[in-house]
Amino acid sequence: MTRIRLRMFAATLALVLIAAVTVAAHMAYSKSVPGKDAALAESPAQLRVWFTQDPEPALSQLSLDGPNGEVAIGKTTVSEERSVVAEVPSTLGPGSYTVKWRSAGDDGHVQRGDFAFTIRAAD
Ligand SMILES: [Cu+2]
């Protein structure tokens, strides 16, 4: 009984360690404002994306696609708490938007991803 439990514990521990190492290998999206799939009533003043590691400034870039193509946004800068920020200088109209991010963490490997949000039409 005890020996079987010990083996199960060891097997579980091994799986947890493998998962931890896999997660630690690359940086990943953690959260954002606007949030993934958020439906906003107003145009956001900025885009901010948090990652699982400190973003490498030289390799970090946000861009924004809207209903009419790419939207000009401010320079992407690394901010506190493992995040990057870019100002949104224009007022975004209603529609669907995609934030595309590119960044790298501890190992310098560039990661890319995207997420969408929508701006609701005024009532
Ligand atoms: Cu990597």
pLDDT in tens, 71-83: 999 999 999 999 9
> Strand (E) positions, 41-109?
46-51, 61-66, 69-71, 77-79, 83-87, 95-104
With a cut of 90, say whether residue 14 has pLDDT above it: no
Residue 122 confidence (pLDDT)? 80
CA of 16 to the centre of ligand 1 (A): 19
CA 13/CA 116 separation, integer angstroms: 36
Residue 78 confidence (pLDDT)? 97
**In the predicted model, what is the mean pLDDT of residues 30-44?**
98
pTM to 2 decimals? 0.79
CA of 112 to the centre of ligand 1 (A): 12
Q: Which CATH architecture has domain 28-119?
A: Sandwich (2.60)
Domains in the chain: boundaries: 28-119
Q: 69 in the Ramachandran plot: left (φ > 0), alpha (ψ -120 to 50) or beta?
A: left
CA of 101 to the centre of ligand 1 (A): 16
With a cut of 60, say whether residue 22 has pLDDT above it: no
**Which one-letter DSSP state was computed for residue 41?**
S
Residue 123 confidence (pLDDT)? 72
Neighbours of ion ligand 1 (CB under 5 A): 26, 107, 109
With a cut of 60, say whether residue 31 has pLDDT above it: yes
CA 54/CA 82 separation, integer angstroms: 5
